[in-house]
């Protein structure tokens, strides 16, 4: 498994993958030196994440290879269907999976998403509009949702 580190406005990000695709993208709690020479398997992911953070990308075009159960992969596939600048509740996610009773299992799979940002688990919120848990931290979830919102609040003063 190849590894690369990039810097972002939200801290260091670790990218793991190989010729079979991207296996994980995760925020690190510590600072990491950005990888100088990124392998050809990870370079497209690095470039696209940087474009996303610069505001120049709203969709990713990458080969993904996350490890998980069949149910988790079904949930992650549904997450990929959530458009940029759109949110969905956990209940809506369960309904899209075909059974509102799987809400807890869907929430658990959402929380185990190994490919942050690209598989947009940050776009799933509580039914009441609250920013429920996020593996990368609620401050990052709030930032990502604000970053994707084209309407920026202007200062009155």
Burial of 134 (0-12, 13-18, 19+ CB in 10 A): buried
Catalytic residues: 121
CA 45, CA 94: separation in Å to the nearest integer? Answer: 29
CA 13, CA 28: separation in Å to the nearest integer? Answer: 6
Sign for the CA dihedral angle at 51, 56, 58, 59 comes to negative
Distances in Å between the Cα of 28 and the Cα atoms of 34, 114, 139 are 12, 13, 14
């Amino acid at each position: 498994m190849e590894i690369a580190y990039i810097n972002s406005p939200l801290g260091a990000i670790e990218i793991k993958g190989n010729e079979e695709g991207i296996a994980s993208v995760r925020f690190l709690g510590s600072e990491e030196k950005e990888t100088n020479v990124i392998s050809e398997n990870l370079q497209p992911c690095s470039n696209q994440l940087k474009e996303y953070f610069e505001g120049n990308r709203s969709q990713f075009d990458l080969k993904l290879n996350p490890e998980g159960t069949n149910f988790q992969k079904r949930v992650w596939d549904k997450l990929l269907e959530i458009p940029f600048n759109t949110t969905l509740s956990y209940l809506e996610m369960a309904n899209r999976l075909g059974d509102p009773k799987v809400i807890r299992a869907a929430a658990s799979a959402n929380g185990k998403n190994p490919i942050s940002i690209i598989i947009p688990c940050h776009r799933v919120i509580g039914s009441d509009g609250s920013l429920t848990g996020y593996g990368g931290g609620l401050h990052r979830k709030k930032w990502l949702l604000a970053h994707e919102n084209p309407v920026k609040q202007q200062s009155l003063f």
